[in-house]
Amino acid sequence: MARMTMVEAIRETLRDEMARDERVILMGEDVGHLGGVFRATDGLQQRFSSQRVIDTPLAESVIAGSALGMALSGLIPVIEMQFLAFSQNAFHQICQQIGRTRFRTRGSHTAPITIRAPFGGNVKTPELHSDSMEPMYAHTTGLKIVMPSTAADAKGLLTTAIRDPDPVLFLEPLRGYRLIADEVPDGEHTVPFGELRTVREGTDVTIVTWSACVPVVEEAAEQLVAEGIDPHIVDLRTIVPLDEAALIAAVEKTGRCVVVHEAAAVSGFGAEIIALVQAQAFYVLEAPVARVTAPDAPYPTPGVEAFYIPDADQVARAVRDTLVD
Question: What amino acid positions are annotated as catalytic residues?
Answer: 129
Q: Which of 266, 281, 264 is nearest to 121 (CA)?
A: 264
Q: What is the DSSP letter of 119?
A: E
**Residue 104: how many other CB atoms lie within 10 Å:** 14
| Cross-strand partners of 116 | 80, 170
Pairing of strands 24-28, 53-55: parallel
How big is the chain by its Cα radius of gyration, in Å? 20
Helices (H) and strands (E) in the chain, counts: 12, 14
Say if CB 30 and CB 58 are below 8 A apart. no
Give CA separation, 17 vs 22, 111, 156, 319, in Å: 8, 17, 12, 42
DSSP labels for 158-217? HHHHHH-SS-EEEEEETTHHHH-EEEE-SS-----TT--EEEE--SSEEEEE-TTHHHHH
Q: Which of 2, 37, 9, 6 is nearest to 176 (CA)?
A: 6
Kindly compute the dihedral angle of the four CA atoms of residues 288, 292, 298, 301, in this order, to the nearest 10 degrees.
160
DSSP labels for 212-240? THHHHHHHHHHHHHHTT--EEEEE-SEEE
Say if CB 184 and CB 155 are below 8 A apart. yes
Angle (CA) 115-119-122 rounded to 5° is 165
